[in-house]
Amino acid sequence: MLAERGDLAIVLKIAPRTGTALGTVKIGPPGPDIGAMTMGGGRIWAAAGDQLVAVDPARPAAVRRTRLPGLANAISYGFGSVWVTTIGQSRHLLIRLDSRTLTIRARIRLTARTVITGEGSGPTAVVAGLGSVWVAGFAALLRVDPATSRVASLLFPTSPSATGLAVARDRLWVLGGTTVAALDRRGRRIEQLRLPVAGGNVAVTHRRLWIIDNCGCRRGTLLEVSLLTRRVIRRRPTGETPIAVSATSTTVWVANFAGGTLSRFRTS
């Protein structure tokens, strides 16, 4: 789990059965966003501010780190690389790092001609899967070819701006406002689901989408969406102002910004 302690962003190790904190790894001062975290290739990858760390779960004291050219706000793992979107005053980037050495392999500029359109906008989410790396930004979706580290296409405009991406059941799921769109690997829209609330972020398991609302309220909502029936089958209350969601085959975790709490749910 990614969290803040004082003026530092940290990776917090949580006991899955009790929710007890077992240890921490310091990342560094956070940027405008706290940062981002993902797993892949047998490592935990976390970025905050201009720092990226790689943590081996079997040896959490052996931390590798590197500096990024910008402030990180989203991260994904795939195709043997770590992909980090960074925001800056003059430009936004998609950074590709070698997962073994943490060296930068590519700096893909996100410009107004590609994903960044609109004053003050920037990348909001990134995910690697279905043969591409997908970057969501203001009212657009960008597809990057990992074979060339170049922009392959600018896909359909998303309105409002997408806040979450997930890959499941051979589909890319794009969360934006009160809709979730399902795309194929070429970026063609297959279907679109309506939600009873505006979504903030999304996680995925084999048969479920788990969506937290973007309410900024005293009690948030976790939606359980069946990927078989394409329907919301359950709504569960979370803590105040949910901002992140993660799911395994047995448990769903929701991080709540206000009060710094963590909500735990059993999957059905």
Using only the alpha carbons of the chain, give its radius of gyration.
17
Q: Which residue has the tokens 């591409």?
A: 132
Q: Cα separation of 124 and 86, whole Å?
A: 10
Q: Is the confidence at residue 117, as pLDDT, over 70?
A: no
Q: Cα separation of 65 and 40, whole Å?
A: 16
Domains observed in the chain: 2-162 (2.130.10.10), 191-268 (2.40.10)
Q: Is the confidence at residue 120, as pLDDT, over 70?
A: no
Q: What are phi and psi of 132, to 5 degrees?
A: -145, 170
- Tens of pLDDT, residue by residue over 174-217, are 999 899 999 999 999 999 999 999 999 999 998 999 999 988 78
Q: Cα separation of 57 and 13, whole Å?
A: 9
Q: Is the confidence at residue 112, as pLDDT, over 60?
A: no
Q: What is the pTM of this model?
A: 0.91
Choice between 239 and 113, residue whose per-residue pLDDT is larger: 239
Residues sharing a CB contact under 8 Å with residue 152, sequence separation 6 or more, in sequence order: 132, 143, 144, 145
Q: Cα separation of 240 and 234, whole Å?
A: 19
